[in-house]
Amino acid sequence: MAEENQEESNVDAPGETSEVATDDNSDSSANDASASASAAGGAEVKRAHRSQKVGVITSDKMQKTVVVRVDRLVRHTKYRRYVRRTSKFMAHDELGSTVGDKVRIVETRPMSARKRWRVIEIVQKAAK
């Protein structure tokens, strides 16, 4: 009897609409959305943190490829002084940066035998 009263009290008054979502409908629509996104190729995949580095372009003689020199300070084990170490990275460049530009590069998939970085931003243009 109490259950019947609760059911009757849940009935809306005339002119009011109730929005009741069932778990079955919401799950199937979520599954459909993810299935259509993956089929369309627009699915967002969780990727690991891609490291970024800031360096100066030393060469731009290749097509859409630049050589970026990245300097870092490393503490010498014996003398306890900081020593400057330099690394060179070949990076894919769609932005058209030139020699002397300070750029930010990010790790990416291998694009060639030595190119595994991509220029994402020109931090500072070279002084002319």
Tokens at residue 40, please? 């369309």
Domain count, the chain: 1
- Check pLDDT > 80 for residue 19: no
pLDDT 10s digits, 52-68: 999 999 999 999 999 99
- Integer angstrom CA distances of residue 109 from 3, 119, 128: 61, 13, 34
According to the model, what pLDDT value does residue 48 have?
Answer: 85
In eight-state DSSP terms, residue 28 is H
Residue 30, domain member (yes or no):
no
Tokens at residue 94, please? 């769609």
Residue 72, domain member (yes or no):
yes
- Check pLDDT > 60 for residue 16: no
Q: Which residue, among 18, 17, 37, 34, has the nearest Cα to 26 in the 3D structure?
A: 34
Task: Show the domain range for 80.
Answer: 52-124
Residue 62, domain member (yes or no):
yes
pLDDT 10s digits, 35-56: 444 555 567 778 789 999 999 9
- Check pLDDT > 70 for residue 14: no
- At 87, which CATH number? 2.40.50.140
Choose between 1 and 90: higher pLDDT: 90
Residue 10, domain member (yes or no):
no
pLDDT 10s digits, 75-96: 999 999 999 999 999 999 999 9
According to the model, what pLDDT value does residue 29 have?
Answer: 47
Tokens at residue 43, please? 């699915």
Residue 16, domain member (yes or no):
no
Sign of the dihedral through C-alpha 56, 61, 66, 71: negative
Q: Using DSSP, state whether 46 is helix, strand or coil.
A: coil
